[in-house]
Amino acid sequence: MRSKAVSRSLILAASTLVLAGAVVAPAFALQCQTCEMPNPNDPDVNPPKQFSPLEMKIDPLVWAQMQEDKLPGVTVAVTRNGALLFNKGYGYANTQTKQLMTADTRSRIGSVTKAAITGPAGFQLMQAKGINPATKTLYGGNGVFGNDFANDILRGANRHTPIIEMDIGQNDHTFTWYNDLTFSEGATNDLDQYNPPLPYTLPPGRQPIDILGMGIAANGEVYTWYHAARTTQTDTPAITRSIGTASDLDAHSAQTTDTVKLPAGKTAYDIVGIAIAKSNNHVYVWYQDGTYSEGYSMDFDYYSKGVKPYSWPAQASGSSYDIRGMAIASNDHVYTWFGNGQASSGMSHDLDKYIAPYAYTLPAGLAGPNWVNLYSTITLQNLLDHRAGFTRSGDGPGAAELFGTAEANLSYTQIHRHFLRTRPLLRTPGGNAQYSNHGFGLWTLLIEKMSGQTYRNYVYNNYLLPAGVGDDIEPQAASPDSRDSANHILEGGVPVPGPYVASTTGLAAGGYRGTARALTVLTAKLDGKYSDADMDRMGWGAPGDGSLEHNGGADGGMAYVVMFPAGYISPKGKDLSGVHVAVVANRWGNLGLFEEMAREIAEQL
């Protein structure tokens, strides 16, 4: 558990600021000649006045953190039992125009959207409809979505299961590895013609779902590539490699610590097949967008220097997104197996050049997880708890490519269809938590399905407006209005206004802007209406000290909110019973330090 004490550097910086004044960062001399950090000793930035005792304590902490983390503007609000104790803005809303940050200035709140807006709004709607999130499922006959996504689930399941990967060995036998930890040896049309499924082992800590691809070299050694999606929080999971045998995947060489280089713009999720040419041991990698590359085991485009297009058979009743395995025979013919039970033979750039699609059979009795059944068990609560088994995020550009539309015209339905077809189910639903922006983003569709209103309209009309913050918390529009700060990024060590793009499909997961004060209004209403257990179920985090919290970062902003329960005594012995603190900044900086600052602010009461 992270330390709740403010960092020593922050305390020292605060003392230095009070006694000697802050050093102002030099103005950025490239894109923005006039941009600079706010100087708390500049009367235009921090007008002299009679400061309250609480300001005398809180101001040095905030200014010090702003200087240390290059935050141009911050809003802070503190309440106790719903009563406002402190509400202030600091610094610049825009470092170029020198617009000041006031308590009423809105900035991006990132994933605080999930816990403060989407989760509670969804919870409120489910209560009104008599829906139990612990038992109500997403998919299937009794699910909220019914069978709307049945075909996408099936295609994704067939792409990833039960086959993990395939290749052809020295003897031109087809080797196939399955998600039940077995492998078979057969022909391209009969996968266990020569040997029925036998067990295989993985490197320590690895599971079949971690396998990205496999290939058999000219000497018979089996190369296996793994992605880190299950064990890291990233949209671009690293790829590692081991070398072994068909039954022991790291028998010859342990999993690498170095990561594999991909062609520019590609991620592990884009890969649909990997195979090794027996003639020269080059590694061929095919991607779902209809391109392939040629390299070696640690650099996938070492020889091709980028990607090239390939075509697939029209008769396959599928596409490049439905490929479940690829292999290269001794004559360099490329074999491709599709999720609908069809295979073809061709070249790296023309997958049915030699043999049009034909049927193949799998071994009987494979016992791996049935993803179609697993999807039918995902509940609404699993989404709120990040226990659906989903990967971190969807892929807007990828979805636009799949459906042949501009990204600006995408619907969340299309993003979810692409997600179900292309992303692995990393965990058993209801099991260990796996943070998923996409899972929370699904409330965009769920709220519309349950309420008959768009997510945006329902949240405004039924949640924000009744709470009195309909103007204080808003979706990010295409351009800021007079109450919005700029979204800042660092250029040459100085925060400058960055991109400002309307939040559309990502609204439910993190697309709102707001003030610190508005967030404490929401938390006060939630705290008075729901139990801590309910709050936990709607997406708030429990760090283990009795408090509830959530942070969020997005391009151009970040926020953190913490709620201390009745009877809470801080590590320093301070009575923080019923205290809520919200802090919002207009640059995405160090969230850990931002959290520490907020908790230290509470200690000043």
Per-residue pLDDT reduced to its tens digit, 448-476: 999 999 999 999 999 999 999 999 999 99
Q: What is the pLDDT of residue 481?
A: 95
- Which uninterrupted H or E stretch holds 198? strand 190-199
pLDDT on residue 274: 98
What pLDDT shows up at residue 16? 31
What is the side-by-side strand order in the sheet with 291-295?
271-276, 283-287, 291-295, 308-309
User: Are the CB atoms for 576 and 29 separated by under 8 Å?
Assistant: no
Q: Which residues contact 507 (CB under 8 A, 6 or more apart)?
A: 113, 444, 455, 456, 475
549 in helix, strand or coil? strand
CB atoms within 10 A of CB 493: 10
Residue 1 has pLDDT above 50, yes or no: no
Tell me what pLDDT residue 70 has. 98
- Going by pLDDT thresholds of 50, 70 and 90, the confidence category of residue 318 is confident
In the Cβ-directed half-sphere of 421, how many Cα atoms lie within 13 Å?
Answer: 25
Q: Which two tokens stand for residue 189?
A: 């049309």
Predicted local distance difference test score (pLDDT) of residue 14: 36
- The structure tokens listed for 579 are 């205290």
Cα 404 to Cα 252, 396, 397: the distances in Å are 44, 12, 10
The residues spanned by each domain of the chain are 8-107+474-500+510-602, 162-359
Angle between helix axes 53-69 and 8-20 (nearest 10 degrees) is 110
pLDDT band, residue 26 (cuts 50/70/90)? very low
Residue 589 has pLDDT above 50, yes or no: yes
d(CA 587, CA 590): 9
Alpha-carbon separation of residue 385 from 65, 185, 343, 388, 433 (angstroms)? 31, 41, 40, 8, 7
Q: H or E segment at 495? A: strand 494-497
Instruction: Tell me 209's DSSP state.
Output: G
- pLDDT score recorded for residue 89: 98
Task: Look up residue 562 and give its amino acid.
Answer: V
The reported pLDDT for the residue numbered 564 is 97
Reported for 29-33, long-range contacts at CB under 8 A and 24+ positions apart, including other chains, are: 29/492, 30/491, 30/492, 31/491, 31/496, 32/95, 32/96, 32/491, 32/494, 32/496, 32/497
Quick check: 162 and 362 in contact, CB under 8 A?
yes
**HSE (CB half, 13 Å, CA atoms) of 34?**
7
Confidence of residue 20 (pLDDT cuts 50, 70, 90): very low
Q: Report the 10 Å Cβ neighbour count for 207.
A: 14
CATH topology of domain 8-107+474-500+510-602: Beta-lactamase (3.40.710)
Average pLDDT, the chain: 93
> Cβ(546)–Cβ(563) under 8 Å?
no
> Is the pLDDT confidence value at 23 over 50?
no
Does residue 306 or residue 21 have the better pLDDT? 306
In sequence order, what are the residues at sequence separation of 6 or more whose Cβ sits closer than 8 angstroms to the Cβ of residue 80? 577, 578, 579, 580, 605
Rounded CA gap, 333 and 327, in Å? 8
For residue 8, what pLDDT band results from cuts at 50, 70 and 90?
very low
Strand partners, 75: 89, 584
User: Which CATH number is 162-359 given?
Assistant: 2.110.10.10
Dump pLDDT digits (tens) for 547-563.
999 999 999 999 999 99
pLDDT tens digits, residue range 352-366?
A: 999 999 999 999 999
pLDDT value of residue 397: 95
Confidence bin at 488 (pLDDT 50/70/90) = very high
pLDDT of residue 32: 87
Per the structure block, which two tokens stand in for 411? 């619907």
pLDDT of amino acid 441: 94
**Mean pLDDT score, 277-298:** 98
Would you call 453 helix, strand, or coil by DSSP?
Answer: coil
Q: What is the pLDDT of residues 113-170, one digit of tens each?
A: 999 999 999 999 999 999 999 999 999 999 999 999 999 999 999 999 999 999 999 9
Is the model's pLDDT at 269 over the cut of 90?
yes
How many residues are listed for the chain in this entry? 605
Contacts of 378 (CB under 8 A, 6+ apart): 137, 138, 139, 388, 389, 429
Are 333 and 347 a contacting pair, CB within 8 Å?
A: yes
Q: How do residues 565-587 score in pLDDT, each as one tens digit? A: 999 999 999 999 999 999 999 99
Summarize pLDDT for 167-219 with one digit per residue, the tens. Answer: 999 999 999 999 999 999 999 999 999 999 999 999 999 999 999 999 999 99
In this prediction the pTM is 0.90
Identify which of 483, 488, 476, 475 has the alpha carbon closest to the alpha carbon of residue 588.
488
* Residue 511 parent element (H or E): none
Across residues 88-109, what is the average pLDDT?
98
What residue type is assigned to position 455 of the chain?
A: Y
Tell me, yes or no, if the two domains 8-107+474-500+510-602 and 162-359 fold the same way: no
Confidence (pLDDT) at 15: 31
